[in-house]
Amino acid sequence: MSFESNGQTDGTSALPAFRRTRRTRRSAGLRRLVRETALSSDDFIYPLFIVPGEGVRHEISSMPGQFQLSLDHLPDEVDELRSLGIGSVLLFGIPAEKDAQATGAFAPDGIVQQAVQTIKAHDPEMVVITDVCACEYTDHGHCGILVNGEVDNDRTLPLLAATAVSHARAGADVVAPSDMMDGRVAAIRQSLDEAGFPSVPVLSYAAKYASAFYGPFREAAESTPAFGDRRSHQMDPANAREAMTEIAIDLDEGADFVIVKPALAYLDIIRQARDRFDVPIIAYNVSGEYAMIKAAARLGWIDERRVTLETLTAIKRAGAGRIITYHAKEAARWLAAEREAAATREPQPSVLAHSGS
């Protein structure tokens, strides 16, 4: 084995030869030069919660910085997103009235349908994705039609298909079924084609887990089940191979791209999906993941900016092509500030640098 002094001048230390990987980490410029994963505002899809009324901008208590918005706020919201380089939104609607059949989900003048029309009239180029499910619209909070206290899979499919078609008629660019009913992608694809919307893509929540990370969302969407839970149709968090089966089925039924949800606790699923399927993989960085960072930051326990960007980088590094995230606005601003600082050669901490030891 060869030895070198490794820069020692006192002649007391002889070390074995080794590879110096730190050379490319010595400066911010070098770190940017060799960075393998780069975040951009183009990576983000921003969720919006739409409610009836006027002048409504109600902050969601468990999701600081997120709001339930009435239709009249949407133009300003879209302008802000556009100014940040964010070109896609995902819409969730909270109707004025709910019933057992979720009729508000597919009503021509439903809250999401109106939101799509409002956004498209203001900014036709903003990509509008609509969540297709029943839980926000049923008076029992479950994702479909109940029979004897259980969600009936096959009776729910026409409801989902009608909802997707109504969103397409309103001008939605993409419909995204999140219900996890078997056969829903096939039913939606057939109905869209028969209704004259063969070009509207289906973004399937193909691997959606029965996760404890959804708690804050249920406040935001007012969709907490009146009884029971959703483990009969959402996936068991312990299963990975099953997720690949679900994705394969949805693609066979006509899905154009797929969502893995949640993101941070399921990076392995994102990675497996990316390695196996040659379609866009979108990860949903969900409400609980967002709320934990916000809560810890408010207590002063973490650096919110660095933790947020590290989290989003991890999701993209795992294989997500795009990320649905409530952090989108702040992350876009932080990334823009980093680019500006780099252009003016002002020192900035690395996104991926660790604090402490």
Tell me the catalytic residues. 208, 261
- Chain CA centroid to CA 269, Å: 15
Closest CA to 114 of 128, 126, 99: 128
Amino acid at the residue 81:
L
Using only C-alpha atoms, the chain has a radius of gyration, in whole angstroms, of 23
The gap from C-alpha 3 to its chain's centroid, in whole angstroms, comes to 52
Residue 29: in which H helix or E strand, if any? helix 28-34
Specify whether the CB–CB gap between 290 and 337 falls below 8 A.
Answer: no
Using CB atoms within 10 A of its CB, is residue 206 exposed (0-12), middle (13-18) or buried (19+)?
buried
| In 96-202, beta strands by DSSP E | 127-132, 146-147, 150-151, 174-177
- Determine the Cα–Cα distance for residues 117 and 276; give it in Å rounded to an integer: 37
Contacts of 309 (CB under 8 A, 6+ apart): 39, 331, 334, 335, 351
> Per the structure block, which two tokens stand in for 15?
């070390």
Pairing of the two strands 322-325 and 281-285? parallel
